[in-house]
């Protein structure tokens, strides 16, 4: 397969390298899927953190809502703030929630309203985190004539994988929350704290305007290294934290089409992020 690249300067300041040729796409918004393959030890080195409790997370090329994921946060250990790598469930459960089902609807928080929404404002004030990702997926519906269509007659969506050109992790701005399992739902014989409390998280998104074609409507807020400490600092005022919610201007991203196998959350493996020809004319 022949691949070329061109650079697009997007409205959110990042450079995007897109596979040639450049097609026109209609975006469906930020999707809830990403890839995360680095273990806690590798993340601890990359994010200047220490590992938290031992975990069994393995490389995941198809992270979906409600899965367990790594997060980076500052927590008080032995009287001082320490940056640690923890495991949270993706889908924030507010502390006031009566049951956990709300979490599946809280995978993203909009940067424009995160400080005001009841589900997020407490976490935004003091419990901010980073959610590391190798890259994330977006699904696009082609608008060109001749694109393959489904049973409804609408053009089929094409998944794209978006990642850093230099191979570094995307430090997605996020929030975390501790939620206590209702006493009635906890088995009487279980008194372990890990069985009672759940650590959950959400990813903050922002507008994404593209100069060359319409690639996507929303994207995760990606913070550069210079803003990590301020974002994670629980003492930083909410209005100052709000000012950090602009994506890093010096991050170069590559976006290319990948197999529709990623559509099924049961599929996993490095083949999901391998580039393919986008099937716009019925051929791949």
The catalytic position among 5, 15, 24, 31 is 31
Residue 155: per-residue pLDDT: 79
Residue 277: per-residue pLDDT: 83
pLDDT of 57 over the 80 cut: yes
pLDDT of 2 over the 50 cut: no
Confidence category of residue 76, pLDDT binned at 50, 70, 90? confident
Of 216, 283, 281, 278, nearest in space to 3 by CA? 278
192/142: higher pLDDT:
142
pLDDT of 212 over the 50 cut: no
- Residue 194's SS3 state is helix
Confidence category of residue 13, pLDDT binned at 50, 70, 90? very low
Q: Is 138 labeled as catalytic in the residue annotation?
A: yes
CATH of span 5-273 = 3.90.1680.10
Residue 265: per-residue pLDDT: 95
pLDDT of 10 over the 60 cut: no
Residue 17: per-residue pLDDT: 46
Comparing 132-146, 178-192, 219-233, the range with the smallest average pLDDT is 178-192
Q: Is this prediction's pTM over 0.95?
A: no
pLDDT of 46 over the 80 cut: yes
Strand-pair partners of 6: 18
pLDDT of 11 over the 50 cut: no
The whole-number average pLDDT for the span 218-227 is: 91
211/176: higher pLDDT:
176
Residue 16: per-residue pLDDT: 43
Residue 25: per-residue pLDDT: 35
Residue 269: per-residue pLDDT: 97
52/5: higher pLDDT:
52
**Residue pLDDT, tens place only, 121-131:** 999 999 999 99
pLDDT of 215 over the 90 cut: no
Residue 208: per-residue pLDDT: 76
What are the boundaries of each domain within the chain? 5-273
The catalytic position among 86, 129, 138, 254 is 138
Contact between 142 and 280 (Cβ < 8 Å): yes
- For a pLDDT cut of 90, what percent of the chain falls above it? 61
Q: Is 31 labeled as catalytic in the residue annotation?
A: yes
Residue 218: per-residue pLDDT: 83
Which residue is it, tokens 């009672």? 196
Contacts of 79 (CB under 8 A, 6+ apart): none
Strand-pair partners of 57: none
Cβ burial of 171 (10 Å; 0-12, 13-18, 19+) is buried
40/280: higher pLDDT:
40
Residue 262: per-residue pLDDT: 95
- Residue 192's SS3 state is coil
Contacts of 53 (CB under 8 A, 6+ apart): 86, 87
The whole-number average pLDDT for the span 152-158 is: 81
Confidence category of residue 190, pLDDT binned at 50, 70, 90? low
């Amino acid at each position: 397969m022949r691949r070329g690249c061109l650079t697009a300067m997007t409205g959110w300041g990042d450079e995007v390298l897109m596979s040639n040729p450049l097609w026109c796409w209609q975006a469906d918004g930020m999707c809830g899927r990403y890839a995360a393959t680095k273990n806690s030890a590798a993340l601890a080195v990359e994010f200047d953190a220490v590992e938290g409790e031992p975990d069994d997370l393995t490389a995941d090329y198809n992270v979906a809502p409600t899965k367990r994921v790594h997060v980076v946060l500052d927590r008080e250990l032995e009287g001082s703030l320490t940056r640690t790598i923890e495991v949270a469930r993706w889908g924030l459960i507010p502390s006031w929630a009566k049951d956990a089902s709300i979490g599946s609807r809280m995978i993203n928080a909009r940067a424009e309203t995160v400080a005001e929404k009841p589900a997020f404002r407490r976490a935004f004030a003091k419990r901010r985190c980073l959610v590391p990702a190798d890259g994330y997926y977006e699904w696009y519906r082609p608008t060109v004539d001749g694109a393959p269509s489904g049973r409804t007659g609408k053009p089929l969506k094409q998944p794209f994988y978006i990642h850093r050109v230099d191979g570094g992790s995307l430090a997605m701005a996020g929030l975390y929350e501790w939620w206590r399992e209702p006493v009635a739902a906890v088995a009487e014989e279980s008194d372990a704290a890990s069985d009672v409390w759940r650590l959950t998280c959400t990813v903050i998104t922002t507008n994404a305007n593209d100069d060359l074609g319409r690639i996507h409507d929303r994207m995760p807020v990606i913070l550069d290294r210079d803003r990590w400490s301020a974002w994670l600092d629980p003492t930083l005022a909410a209005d100052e934290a709000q000012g950090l919610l602009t994506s890093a201007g010096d991050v170069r991203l590559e976006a290319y089409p990948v197999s529709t196998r990623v559509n099924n959350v049961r599929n996993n493996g490095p083949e999901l992020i391998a580039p393919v020809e986008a099937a716009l004319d019925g051929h791949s």
